[in-house]
Amino acid sequence: MLTSAINTTHELIDELYSVSLDIAAVLGMRNLSAFIGELVSAAIIKNADGVFRANPHQDGYPDLLLMDKPGMEEWERLAIRTGDKAPFSPFRCGGIEVKATCGSVPSPAVYRKRDKSRPALGATRAPHLSGYDWKAHHRDTNNLVGVVWDFVDGRPRVAAMFYSSALTRDDWGRIVTPRDGGGRTTSVSIIGRSGIRKMYAGWVCVLKTGGYAEFFNKRNEAQLIPTG
């Protein structure tokens, strides 16, 4: 299901580019990362044969609600409350969260010191990656599908996907709230090293080429992902 969702995600992206819509240029990196997460979520639903349904509240969690027998019964019970955040934050019968990241690269100051340039919009970031993480608005995120994406031949592509059902509050950092006058940023918690390792242990797939497997192995000081 998850690997099929990756193919569907790429098909959706290619459809946008087929009508000359460069979504990277339109959205920019930050919004594009959120958009990739939404595409993956939609693709999982499409390939899950009714197992998941999108959370009807944009601030609810998990992102995808589990529609097993208890989940369906709960959904039907809440049919008149789909505009209410409370019963969907969290959804009592659970589901999965989907988060996407393009990873992090060194700061502009570091590049200037090295007399080099940061990767431009649309350029492959793999050779530049210095780390990666996922962010959530609370510390209860578990059953997480973590996506790392990159540009391949100028188009966004899922470079790797990870999953863990073993995340706890201790795997997430303290919630950082926006400072006064700090713009429109929302409160976020960043997954910690223990959470990253749990996700790495549950790797689903990684692009064979581009050095991604080598990067994730090195970053996690292990060799779980084949590189041959």
pLDDT of amino acid 56: 94
Dist. CA 15–CA 189, nearest whole Å:
33
pLDDT of amino acid 80: 85
Read off the tokens for 65. 């609600």
User: Are 202 and 164 spatial neighbours (Cβ–Cβ below 8 Å)?
Assistant: yes
In the beta sheet, which residues pair with residue 191? Answer: 172
Distances in whole angstroms, Cα of residue 210 to Cα of each of 70, 129, 221 = 43, 12, 19
Domain ranges in the chain? 2-219
Residue 88: exposure state from Cβ atoms within 10 A (0-12, 13-18, ≥19): buried
Dist. CA 154–CA 90, nearest whole Å:
37
Q: pTM score, two decimals?
A: 0.94
pLDDT of amino acid 184: 52
pLDDT tens-digit readout, 111-127 = 999 999 999 999 999 99
Instruction: Among 64-73, 127-136, 170-179, name the one with the lowest average pLDDT.
Output: 170-179
pLDDT tens-digit readout, 80-105 = 887 889 999 999 999 999 999 999 99
pLDDT tens-digit readout, 154-195 = 999 999 999 999 999 999 999 998 765 555 557 899 999 999
> For residue 138, is pLDDT > 80?
yes
Read off the tokens for 32. 């594009």
pLDDT of amino acid 79: 87
Q: List the helix and strand counts (H, then E) for the chain.
A: 6, 8
Strands 144-152 and 95-101: parallel
Measure the CA angle with vertex 156, ends 221 and 213; round to 5°: 20
Residue 201: exposure state from Cβ atoms within 10 A (0-12, 13-18, ≥19): middle
pLDDT of amino acid 217: 98
Local confidence band at 225 (pLDDT 50, 70, 90 cut-offs): very high
pLDDT tens-digit readout, 191-224 = 999 999 999 999 999 999 999 999 999 999 999 9
3-state secondary structure of 66: strand
Dist. CA 224–CA 24, nearest whole Å:
32
Contacts with 55 (C-beta within 8 Å, 6 or more apart), sequence order:
61, 62, 63, 64, 65, 88, 91, 95
Local confidence band at 147 (pLDDT 50, 70, 90 cut-offs): very high
Nearest to 142 by CA among 90, 86, 185: 90
Mean per-residue pLDDT of the chain: 94
pLDDT, mean of residues 59-66: 95
pLDDT of amino acid 180: 57
pLDDT tens-digit readout, 152-165 = 999 999 999 999 99
Please state, for a pLDDT cut of 70, what percent of the chain lies above it: 96
3-state secondary structure of 18: helix
